[in-house]
Amino acid sequence: MKKHSIILIFTLVILISSFQCNKCIDLPDQILDDSKQWLPLRGLNQLRFSNQFGIIDTFNLSVEDTFSISVACTGKAYKDEYINGRLILDNSSSDFIAFGLTQKNFFCINTVANFNNELNQCDILKKAGATAEIVSLLNYNIGGTIYSETILLKSNTNNSRIDSIFIAKNKGIARFKYNGLTYEIQ
């Protein structure tokens, strides 16, 4: 009888421990740190770029630089700050550069041409310099301005319509190549 009791207790302990849930805790506010400096676009709805022939183009920009209120499993509310946006490259909105930055420096860029994904990179700030497609550049010159920190994103597909993007700290999207033309921020 004692042997059966031990087996029963052991079985119950295993069953009970396998159904335990994660602890429910309050979450602190999820506020962006200095990573916001990579996308200082609040209040802008257009960006002006010039191509290598000196022709200036104005591209529409939509930016959501805000925070939402979320509720933890405990019922306590917390702030969740983020930046999402799109630089629209054509009149039909089928070609664009989408970007997003959430807490813990999670920065993503996605390019779409003719409604097809071309360049997809996430966790850019952590991966900069660690891969061939995400290159970290210091004191880099774009359009006569030297940016102390710049990240180059390269497409890894052939025949991309949007094949490179330069993001400069304290400026945002500073240069990109689109349809064979190189555009630099004005």
Report yes or no on 162 lying in a domain. yes
Say whether 127 sits in a helix, a strand or coil: helix
Report yes or no on 70 lying in a domain. yes
Share of the chain above pLDDT 90, in %: 70
pLDDT > 50? residue 176 = yes
Q: What b-and-e string marks burial along 132-165, b requiring 16 or more CB atoms within 10 Å of the CB?
A: ebbbebeebebeeeebebbbbbbbeeeebbbbbb
CB within 8 A of 174, min separation 6: which ones?
A: 142, 143, 147, 150, 166, 167, 168, 184, 185
Q: How many domains does the chain have?
A: 1
Report yes or no on 118 lying in a domain. yes
Q: What angle do CA 62, 67, 71 make, to 5 degrees?
A: 140
Report yes or no on 145 lying in a domain. yes
Instruction: Say what the pLDDT of residue 21 is.
Output: 53
Residue 104's domain comprises: 25-185
Confidence of residue 10 (pLDDT cuts 50, 70, 90): very low
Confidence of residue 16 (pLDDT cuts 50, 70, 90): very low
Report yes or no on 12 lying in a domain. no
pLDDT > 70? residue 55 = yes
Report yes or no on 65 lying in a domain. yes
Confidence of residue 3 (pLDDT cuts 50, 70, 90): very low
pTM, 2 dp = 0.81
Average pLDDT over residues 111-133: 92
